[in-house]
Structure 1
């Protein structure tokens, strides 16, 4: 999948994932080893990812999806 739809939004989502991962003191490698999700690809903001992947990330980082989106600036 590309970023044709809304690259600006995708960058914001990517930034939020990175912010939360770093806040949890996790490296991309730790997060990948724990989840099988390639955080590096997501955090570049160049690759789209699914809602189910986002849900897995939120569960892993112990944050609700509501709080995840509250942290995204308009």
Structure 2
């Protein structure tokens, strides 16, 4: 069971950093102690579903995002997954108009690569 706890804690850390949050900021947003957040990220705490919900809500993500695993992926696949994570964070903070603009930019960039 610790393996799953470690993987979820690592995903919390990755997503928190992508969002540019410190452990203290995530603690404040989630109503948890910053030392507790650190322990969760290190896989040291056997957290409850309620705690996980507080963290997911504070990070503004879907719970499924915590269960994605980068273990066993090639270097390219892991880089793609990290890029998708960053893209998802960026999109979550944009308006519909900004998302449409970003989609057009992505299509243009993709076209520049010859796809």
Q: TM-score range by the shorter chain?
A: 0.7 to 0.9
Aligned to 1:24: 19
With the length of structure 1 as denominator, give the TM-score of the two structures: 0.78
Aligned with 2:60 (options 59, 62, 73): 62
Q: Which SS does the other structure have where 1:52 is aligned? A: helix
Matched positions, count: 68
Equivalent residue runs for 1:25-44 within 5 Å: 25-37=20-32, 38-44=36-42
C-alpha RMSD over aligned residues: 1.5
Shift of 1:73: 4.1
With the length of structure 2 as denominator, give the TM-score of the two structures: 0.53
CA distance in 1, matches of 2:65, 2:28: 24
Aligned with 1:53 (options 51, 54, 62): 51
CA distance in 1, matches of 2:41, 2:64: 19
Unpaired runs of 5+ residues, structure 2, are: 72-115
CA distance in 1, matches of 2:2, 2:24: 25
Checking the alignment, whether the CA contact within 8 Å between 2:9 and 2:42 is kept in structure 1 is yes
Unpaired runs of 5+ residues, structure 1, are: 1-5
| Structure with larger Rg | 2
